[in-house]
Structure 1
Amino acid sequence: MTASEAKLLPSHWNRTRPRSPPSPGKWASATLTLLFPLAIRVAQARFPPDCRRRDLDQIPVAPVRGIKSARENCNSLQVILMDLGTRLDGIRVGDRKLYRDPNLPQMDTGNKKRQHFLVLLDNDHPDTYLTCARIRPKPPTLIRALISAHGVIGYLNLEQRSQLTPTKVQLNITRVTEPVLGGFRVHALPALPPLDNAPHLDRCKEIGGVYNPTSKGIAADAPIPGEQSQDNYAVGDISGKLGYAAAREWDVFLPLMGKHSVVLRTFVIYRNGESGIEEPWICSTLTRYIWSEPEYKMPMLTAQAVYRYPLVGRVLFFQPDPYGETTVLVEGLIHADGNSQNTTADHRWSITLNPPGKDFYNWTARCVSAGPVYNPYKVNVNETKEAVVGDLTERLGVLSISGGKRLIRESRALFTDDNIPITGHDSIFGKSLVIFDDRGPEARGERLACSIINGVFRRKAVAKDWFGNGLPASVSGKVEFFQQTEYGVTDIEMNLEGLKNVEHFQIHRTPVLEILEFPCEESTLYEVYNPYQEAPFHSGGTPDQMLVGDLSGKFVTLEGHTSFQQVGLNDTNLMLFGQTAVIGRSLVLHSKSPQRRWACSTIERGYAPTEARELRAIASFHHPLGYAGGYIRMTQLIHSDGSASDTTIEVNLKHPGRHDRNKTLNHNWAIYVNPVGVDATVQVLHTRCTAAGYIWNPYYTQLADPLNHDLYKSECGPDLPLRCYVGDLSARLGTVDLGNGRKVFTDANFPLEGKVSAMGRSIVIFNKDRGSEKFACANIEPDYDTVKYVNIRKPPKFVVSQFLEDVRKIMGVPEWLLTIDSRKTNVLYGGACIQLLIHFKGPQANKLEQDFSKLMTTGRLAQPSLYSPGYTPPAKRVTTSSYQLCPTRDASDVDKRKYRFSFRSSASFSRPSSLLMIVPVLCTVFIMCL
């Protein structure tokens, strides 16, 4: 049986001859599902109140050239394929009816060369099209839950061909560690994403109870499994309906379509706890897969609305295609202004026409700028509110807002709706999601909060820029990571060439530093990434039993391979979203004999320049009189619709002084509202960094009770980062250390661009052991990267590190703003010259490159390249350099060319002395060959 569907929308009316059409304001939507050769089902059909009957009359055909225009009207319809009015009864007002025609011929709805449309005609005027809709093939729905935890491996497949057919259930367990598994059920919600530094990974956190929209008995109140008809069990109680042995495979009451769909809910395998009562053990999100290609996940269109005042939380929208059902996930809504600590209920919510303005935090007339409820089909709201696209209350019900994070489960919810288009002509992108409060102050109005709806894009990460560890590495190719949302698994694809004696591949904690000759060592990349502090497990465990970064332990080793290609690796523990994301860390290839780190690469964001652009910022602690040295680097991806990714933060701080090896731990850190100047060098602690002002709180978090510090500390944390001030980094991410190596953090609440941006503000480091005194500070500025090839004369005792140190000293530049790429160092002209690829970084990258060129050309630089407020360079500062540039070619080669006969001029033999190339990406890149 094949199915097709036509959605009749009021905006699609048209006529064959000019005449005033019926008022579209009297129309709602209708969905007609065609099951060939069985039946036609009409659902949710409402027509003008003065009409008793309408003809389901014709299925015309539009040629390919008319498809585009036919999306908006019926003008391009030409040939009538079949007349349904003479075969079936007409449609009655408000009917939900099934039509059966065993002789209805099956249409080739999948044919791309022509399209079929269903047309409704006006009884009184047969030559008038009331409305039309394209008939589209509706493939069966396939959802799957991957099981890979606690040593158990397998999957659950659920397949439903249409809303009129039962669901086929297939549970396949290929490996199990427990002798007997308990029941298996569907719970109402997906688990919350994992947190960094959590004591353990809990994939069953806040999944709600067994999904039970029909309010049947569950647990001890449920009938004996497999003994009664399936309508006596909760919808999510699969083992109750099918039996613990899953002797049956068809479930009549497990919908994959419609308002009670189980898509994106959690499949749970139980086991007996210590008390003998079953408890959730293994949890996996039910994810859509492509029915015709069941090994591939279905691409999802995802949108979000993030609330920051006066409540915090996020609402997500998932849709597989522009005409599919939309799953709406309310992750949790919590009062955040300090005015209410109790859960409030019965909040209406709607999608409105305009994006919100600055009145989202007004005390009067709040969120008025968001406009009226979104109603693209001009439905008469007095008669059919449920057909209004933006009126979510009528179709989905009301929301609750939790009084605190301990009550977050009271506001979490999941809905399925077929009238929320994420893309297309009537897309909700750029609109507002408004939450109402009918019991609020009259001056504020009925609108409590509003937020713009923007995109959430699939994350891609890639390791492809390989560094050898002391010797050039022959490896080439890439390892790619893909994750659609934080509620799905991460897919890994590998394509590597040039492997030599490589055994393991693992993710380590920090990115690669290009300046190091041995960039892959433990002293700089540290140990395998392990955010949950799990104990190492022997090879062959499931992902939750292995360290997050131990990829070869979880999947396969590279032993014996000189090249390796692999797709379809699914990691249920590795994240590209959230606090435990691996973006900004490193992938290391380990050789077997000898056992050492052979090659490494930073895991970077993967994106096309047409899709997004990457922003880079830095807080550089380089003031000669400052109290900390090092940097904090930040990167963020900005998509074409203005939405932003999480911000990856690399912290590398130490005490000032080249040879200072002191370590101090647990420094709080924060973003302050203003930049700093000479006050960063004040000796007295309580007056240091005073120009920074106060901690940055652009969304007025806890504005109604700002002095209630106990409330703030109890609500703000890694498990609720939106409840924190945007500037309160230590509360969300944890503390930083000085002199104790590098750290990488991922923060979803650190904007680098837009109306609310950290750029131009300052980062303040507080005293050790969570002290409250300001210890050091630096400004957040753009981080550019200017690259230049330079050829330097190489005397007998020339050392690259000494050359860099001398140049930095003359220019007054710290080591992290002037580096080289160790892979690009080449000896030229028989050892007479050395070629270096130099990186000039930071907000003054262009000036650093110019000053370096001046120093190399003239041998002198009168003033330091970087200005430090309040600092006067010593009179005896070194201003000259003995290093010289090399000629563009070997002198002996020039002598030989003098006597060579040629009809060309001598200028044609020499290459240009310099080449300047500007790359129009995030950073302007200069390359100069000398």
Structure 2
Amino acid sequence: MIFVYHCLSGALLLSVIRPGAAVELTAHLSENGLHGFISFVEEEGQVYVATKLTTDSSWTWAVRNLPVDYTDLDNRCSDKKLGETVLELTTILGEVSSNTSSLVSRADLIPLTGATGIWSRSLLLQSGGKRACATLMASGNSSVKVAEAHFPGDGGLRGRVLFQWLGSSLASDAVIYSDLHWANDPLRTSHNWRIYTTDVLESEVDKAKENCNSLQVILMDLGTRLDGIRVGDRKLYRDPNLPQMDTGNKKRQHFLVLLDNDHPDTYLTCARIRPKPPTLIRALISAHGVIGYLNLEQRSQLTPTKVQLNITRVTEPVLGGFRVHALPALPPLDNAPHLDRCKEIGGVYNPTSKGIAADAPIPGEQSQDNYAVGDISGKLGYAAAREWDVFLPLMGKHSVVLRTFVIYRNGESGIEEPWICSTLTRYIWSEPEYKMPMLTAQAVYRYPLVGRVLFFQPDPYGETTVLVEGLIHADGNSQNTTADHRWSITLNPPGKDFYNWTARCVSAGPVYNPYKVNVNETKEAVVGDLTERLGVLSISGGKRLVRESRALFTDDNIPITGHDSIFGKSLVIFDDRGPEARGERLACSIINGVFRRKAVAKDWFGNGLPASVSGKVEFFQQTEYGVTDIEMNLEGLKNVEHFQIHRTPVLEILEFPCEESTLYEVYNPYQEAPFHSGGTPDQMLVGDLSGKFVTLEGHTSFQQVGLNDTNLMLFGQTAVIGRSLVLHSKSPQRRWACSTIERGYAPTEARELRAIASFHHPLGYAGGYIRMTQLIHSDGSASDTTIEVNLKHPGRHDRNKTLNHNWAIYVNPVGVDATVQVLHTRCTAAGYIWNPYYTQLADPLNHDLYKSECGPDLPLRCYVGDLSARLGTVDLGNGRKVFTDANFPLEGKVSAMGRSIVIFNKDRGSEKFACANIEPDYDTVKYVNIRKPPKFVVSQFLEDVRKIMGVPEWLLTIDSRKTNVLYGGACIQLLIHFKGPQANKLEQDFSKLMTTGRLAQPSLYSPGYTPPAKRVTTSSYQLCPTRDASDVDKRKYRFSFRSSASFSRPSSLLMIVPVLCTVFMMCL
């Protein structure tokens, strides 16, 4: 029977549960040669103590007042950290050793819960000056709920207060653990404290405020219940009757308020009380034929970490050790021919400087303090016989979150080497199949160093993981690694002075200090002072030394969201040994967002026949350091077996748009050999989704969530955005339907930019186009740019192929110079290669240095305009290609729009071969009904219209799916796309041509080109009436395009549907 006490509309929930099962407490110990556990179970007035210890000596034991803080790796068992002795167990039960197995005492001598209970205190064992300690944590059927009030430094007060409620079928209990201090001040104070709650009638904006000003409703006066809260000391308060707060209630929010001693009714500071579920970290294992996962779970900083390694399939007969390395692997963002998932992961994570590899003790044979923090197989044994790790924190500055879990195997030399690597990622504890939503911010540096710093924080609250991906000198002035660089978050975004020779980055403002902390007294609580809390940075002298500047930190005072968010601020890197005129600031960059990428295939094309398929396939990736999740919801499948990603997007004009001649083979950027189905993602082609997961055979509809692909990217140069998804039928074996994989976003979140470089000049030396798309988010941050290249030699029937053309963005647009016959004077108006960030400005003629540093593996080190150095070369007449570039901006102060793209001579030649301007790519769509004479052919109609209008095929297309025959075959309806920078003019000229039968001038102007005098200017195609042609008096409404003045034509008879959508900035 359960009794529930309600107060203030659900603000409090106190459960009194009918007795049944026992209360159980367990202490997991592994320190100073002692390993094992001690558990306490209370039943019917007796306390039964079970021990399982591995030790060579006898130990005295006692209960200490304070729990163990497992984020502390150094001297955690000292008297100062554990507090005074509460219960001397040696006196009651005697010493313990490896021979001790079970003991019994009266419950009144060893109370597990209540005002004098031992739950959530620490158990300290001592022997000959050695110590081992552990928190007495709830186990068995007991459950614990935790809430937290975090004080980040407002008014100089830092720390946290944990509220814990124990519930079992035998008893309930509650404790409050506080660890508060004045930043850099040893002063100890005591304050009255209360819990306030918001009113249900308050607006959501008021509830979201992280201050105390509007708080009026007192929920609990803790000062009356428990005396004052201590600041400057760790403290544990016991209150078995403390009502459990419903901190997850969205209608009410709870705040812990400390009152000013000098003014008892004045708020000193406050913090919101939030639910704090256990931290769950998971590494998915799906590589080299091995499938499984690693789960790490920690209830709070006061409990150890539970480890679960589950390998469900192994191809190797024996796996090696398993360890955590210090850094996440560099994601596969470049177009390297081979995938390396263990690239630059650093060494085994070892903040306590223990022996590693041959210098480490035999795995599983000593207490865990003798092994490196990351040496899991050393601490638990190769067979993972031990389940708990007391030196593997998931919280605090030594957290292993975002580091790399590595499975080893024996190399050819017989020495273990990293084999399978997976990033340790946050998951939702209550829904362990789902990743924790994350907020991500970044600062990207381009001058005088290049690199990126990332900030990851659980949404909407939690510790922030800071990843320095690598910082590299890029101005050509320094090729040596430099150290001891201070770094800070500053108040303002940087101005143009980020590249100044004098007073650099002054516009970024002072160090960000939202809590108005007196920096002369304390720097620890200053949000922006990263040096004080995290230490200094290094900057590598070149990309070969990038590991010297990579680093990962965890901090609880870098808010990415909320009122004090760091979004829009600057991250400044200092150099105290630089020239005096420049100042101490070396580099600065704005902090903006990195948003979850979503891609979707939903706009299906039948391959020659209409396809019945509907629905979508969606891809999600939070950051490039996470796996890609795939969700499928398809209907109308007919005899479909495989689904695969192919290299290029679908062309809507084609009657057979899914064929190999246009979409090519399955996407395979790493040149993997085809593998039989059932392999892990790394053994399969990137695009072979059905081979990696499941076939669609036998399904007319298919729904699936939770597919995890460790090898498919939505970030970087191997991203699948802009490619196509093809459904293959089984019998006959053919491509049945296909869809372009497009970006998925809400119009309130972002808008998509489209640009084109169209090579259509009649006298030009290349034909085709280069199309670019980029997503601009609401905060101004931009996605990678997807680039589709479709170039050939000019001439309708020219089938020549030339390979390996370099290409680049030049600073200026081109004109008539694009048609000059002499190579060395062609495209001269384009100027020089675009380098807006002054890369290698100090040594611009050192081409060897530039070539050695710039490349796909370090694109920021390249000139923004140097496309071939980052992406590789392009071909003419050899089909389409898709590229993804993180350094091709289409909007902002630095934008490629209005500049030109230059194609160089074949075989990586240096002469300018062809060029075209980068312009907006609009898409105007219109339905039109055309009379269909007996020999009417759609392709011939399009060719004739394009010839009259002087428009290339890629700027005037139709959607082949929307072609319909009307009026018993008398008319045909087409959906026409007018594209490019002059899309509106093309639509207007087309309407003029269809209504008058004549177009005097070409729609597109080509500098230096005069149309021939015999150019075709008239058309015999006629528009259809709005009614069935058989019902129309053909003599009265005869259409003739020879003269538009001989008759008056009712406008109601013209079936040209108004423009549906124009796409550039955004199309809904």
Q: TM-score, normalised by structure 2?
A: 0.79
Contact 2:573 2:585 in 1 (8 A): yes
2:1020–2:1041 CA contact under 8 A, matched in 1: no
Residue 59 of structure 1 corresponds to: none
**Residue 925 in 1 paired to residue 1057 in 2?**
no
Cα 1:283–1:912 shift into 2, 3 Å: farther
Distance 2:851 2:387 in 1: 51
Query: How big is each residue's C-alpha offset from its partner over 1:469-505, in whole Å with a ceiling of 9 and x where there is no partner?
Result: 1111111111110100000010111111111110000
Whether the aligned pair in 2 keeps the contact of 1:5 and 1:135 (CA below 8 Å) is no
Measure the CA separation in 2 of the matches of 1:906 and 1:673: 46
Take 1:202 and 1:359, find their aligned partners in 2: how far apart are those partners?
39
Q: Which runs of 5+ in 2 are unaligned?
A: 1-102, 112-118, 137-142, 155-178, 181-199
Look up the SS of the partner of 2:985 in the other structure. helix
- Please list the CA deviations of residues 98-138 of structure 1 after superposition, one character each: whole Å capped at 9, or x if unmatched: 44455544333334444332222233333332222222211
- Contact 1:31-1:42 within 8 A present in 2 as well: no
Deviations 1:22-66 (A, max 9, x none): x9999999999xxxxxx999999999999xxxx99xxxxx98669
Tell me: CA distance 1:493–1:850, structure 2 relative to 1, closer, same or farther (3 Å).
same
CA contact (8 A) 1:581 1:746 kept: yes
Q: Does 1:15 align with 2:116?
A: no
Is residue 450–residue 861 contact of structure 2 (8 Å, CA) maintained in 1?
A: yes
RMSD: 7.1
Instruction: Please state whether the residue corresponding to 2:1033 is helix, strand or coil.
Output: helix
The SS at the match of 1:711 is helix
Equivalent-residue separation in structure 1 for 2:104 and 2:955 (angstroms):
62
Displacement of 1:899 after TM fit? 19
Of 747-756 and 320-329, more deviation after overlay is shown by 320-329
Render the CA deviation track for 1:131-169: whole Å, top value 9, x for unaligned: 222222111100100000000000000000000100000
Taking a change above 3 Å as real, the CA distance of residues 74 and 254 of structure 1, as seen in their structure-2 partners, is same
Shift of 1:904: 37
Q: How far off is 1:209 after superposition?
A: 0.5
Aligned residue number for residue 630 of structure 1: 768
Distance 1:407 1:5 in 2: 64
- 1:5·1:138 contact (CA, 8 Å) conserved in 2? no
Change (3 A) 1:803 1:70: closer
Question: 1: CA distance between counterparts of 2:725 and 2:1053?
Answer: 34
Distance 1:41 1:623, change over 3 A: closer
Residues 723-732 or 904-913, more deviating: 904-913
In structure 2, the CA distance between the partners of 1:199 and 1:902, relative to structure 1 (3 Å rule), is closer
Assess if the C-alpha contact under 8 Å between 1:242 and 1:251 holds in 2: yes
* Aligned-residue offset at 1:830: 1.4
State the distance in 2 between where 1:810 and 1:358 align. Answer: 48
The 8 Å contact of residues 546 and 554 in structure 1, kept in 2 or not, is answered as yes
SS at match of 1:507: strand
Judging changes above 3 Å, is the alpha-carbon distance between structure 1 residues 28 and 840 closer, same or farther for their aligned structure 2 residues? farther
d(CA) in 1 for partners of 2:638, 2:152: 74
Match of 2:507, SS state, is: helix
Superposition deviation, residue 74 in structure 1: 3.0
Quote the Cα distance in structure 2 between the aligned partners of 1:587 and 1:391.
48
In structure 2, the CA distance between the partners of 1:325 and 1:796, relative to structure 1 (3 Å rule), is same
Q: 1:905 to 1:142 in 2, by over 3 A?
A: farther
2: CA distance between counterparts of 1:79 and 1:189? Answer: 46
Secondary structure at the counterpart of residue 341 of structure 2: coil
- 47 and 159 in structure 1: CA distance in 2 versus 1, 3 angstrom threshold: closer
1: CA distance between counterparts of 2:1002 and 2:848?
48
- C-alpha distance in structure 2 between counterparts of 1:24 and 1:809, whole Å: 97
- Distance apart, 1:920 and its partner CA: 14
* CA distance 1:89–1:737, shift in 2 (3 Å): same
- Report the CA distance shift for 1:466/1:225 in structure 2 as closer, same or farther (over 3 A): same
Aligned mates of 2:888, 2:269 — CA distance in 1: 48
Sort the Cα spacing of 1:718 and 1:922 in 2 relative to 1 into closer, same or farther, 3 A: farther
| Contact kept in structure 2, 1:502 and 1:592, CA below 8 Å | yes
| Paired residues of 2:442 and 2:594 also in contact (CA < 8 A) | yes
**Residue 803 of structure 1 aligns with which residue?**
941
| Distance (whole Å) between structure 2 residues aligned to residue 900 and residue 765 of structure 1 | 50
Aligned equivalents of 1:690 and 1:901: distance in 2? 49
Q: Trace 1:20-419 onto structure 2 (pairs within 5 A).
A: 68=206, 71-86=209-224, 88=226, 90-92=228-230, 94-102=232-240, 104-419=242-557
Greater displacement, 368-377 / 833-842: 833-842
Counterpart Cα distance in 2 of 1:391 and 1:44: 24
Segment of structure 1 superposing worse, 192-201 or 316-325: 192-201
1:787 touches 1:837 (CA, 8 Å); kept in 2? yes
- 8 A contact 2:862–2:870 mirrored in 1: yes
TM-aligned CA deviation for residue 563 of structure 1: 0.7
- SS at 1:63 equivalent: coil
Q: Distance in 2 between matches of 1:809 and 1:897?
A: 30
- After superposition, the Cα gap between the structure-2 partners of 1:43 and 1:196, relative to the gap in structure 1 and judged at 3 Å, is closer
Alpha carbons of structure 1 residues 5 and 585: separation in structure 2 relative to 1, 3 Å? farther
Counterparts of 2:357 and 2:280 in 1: how far apart (Å)? 28
| From 639, 645, 655, the counterpart of 1:501 | 639
**CA shift in 2, pair 1:40/1:418, >3 Å:** farther
Q: Is 314-323 or 680-689 further displaced after alignment? A: 314-323
Q: d(CA) in 2 for partners of 1:156 and 1:75?
A: 45
Question: C-alpha separation between the residues in 2 aligned to 1:905 and 1:810?
Answer: 17
C-alpha contact (below 8 Å) 2:928/2:1056 kept by paired residues: no
Cα distance, 1:890 vs structure 2: 1.1
* Aligned equivalent of 2:659: 521
Contact 1:784/1:842 (8 A) holds in 2: yes
Q: Would the aligned equivalents of 1:664 and 1:768 in 2 still touch at CA under 8 Å?
A: yes
Give 1:86 deviation, angstroms. 4.8
1:889 CA drift (Å)? 1.1
Confirm or deny that 1:690 pairs with 2:794: no
Q: Report how far residue 861 of structure 1 moved.
A: 1.0
- CA deviations over 1:375-408 (Å, ceiling 9, x no partner): 0000011112010000000001000000000000
Aligned-pair CA distance for 1:824: 1.0
Q: 1:758 aligns with which of 891, 896, 899?
A: 896
Is the CA contact (8 Å cut-off) linking 1:24 and 1:378 kept in structure 2?
Answer: no
- Distance in 2 (alpha carbons) for counterparts of 1:902 and 1:720: 62
Change (3 A) 1:895 1:159: same
Aligned CA distance change for structure 1 residues 46 and 155 (closer, same or farther; 3 Å): closer
SS at match of 2:577: coil
CA contact (8 A) 1:786 1:840 kept: yes
Distance 1:179 1:240 in 2: 20
**CA 1:69–1:500: 2 relative to 1, 3 Å:** closer
Whole-angstrom distance in 1 between the partners of 2:915 and 2:588: 35
Q: Distance in 1 between matches of 2:922 and 2:146?
A: 60
User: Shift in Å at residue 229 of structure 1?
Assistant: 1.1
Q: CA deviation at 1:180?
A: 1.0
State the distance in 1 between where 2:370 and 2:246 align.
40
Give the CA deviation at 1:228.
1.3
Q: CA distance change for structure 1 residues 31 and 154 in 2, over 3 Å: closer, same or farther?
A: closer
How far has the Cα of 1:669 moved from its partner?
0.2
Secondary structure in 2 matching 1:737? strand
Q: Deviations over 1:653-677 (max 9, x none)?
A: 0000000000000000000000000
Structure 2: how far apart are the matches of 1:479 and 1:779? Answer: 35
Q: Distance in 1 between matches of 2:332 and 2:250?
A: 44
CA 1:740–1:245: 2 relative to 1, 3 Å: same
**Taking structure 1 as the reference length, what is the TM-score of the superposition?**
0.90
SS at match of 2:783: coil
Q: 1:471 to 1:44 in 2, by over 3 A?
A: closer
Larger Rg: 2
CA 1:114 to 1:794, structure 2 compared with 1: closer, same or farther past 3 Å?
closer
SS at match of 2:152: coil
How much has 1:203 moved relative to structure 2? 0.4
Write out per-residue CA displacement over residues 326-369 of structure 1, whole angstroms, 9 at most, x where no aligned residue. 01010000000000000000000000000000000000000000
8 Å Cα contact 1:314/1:331 also seen in 2: yes
Residues 784, 845 of structure 1: 8 Å contact kept: yes
Which deviations, in whole Å up to 9, do the C-alpha atoms of 1:893-925 show, x marking residues without a partner? 468999999999999999996799999999627
Whole-angstrom distance in 2 between the partners of 1:26 and 1:385: 36
Question: For the structure 1 residues 118 and 30, does the alpha-carbon distance in structure 2 shift closer, same or farther, using more than 3 Å as the test?
Answer: farther
Identity %: 97
For residues 396 and 309 of structure 2, the distance between their equivalents in structure 1, rounded to whole angstroms, comes to 23
Tell me how far apart the structure 2 counterparts of residues 927 and 315 of structure 1 sit (CA, whole Å): 29
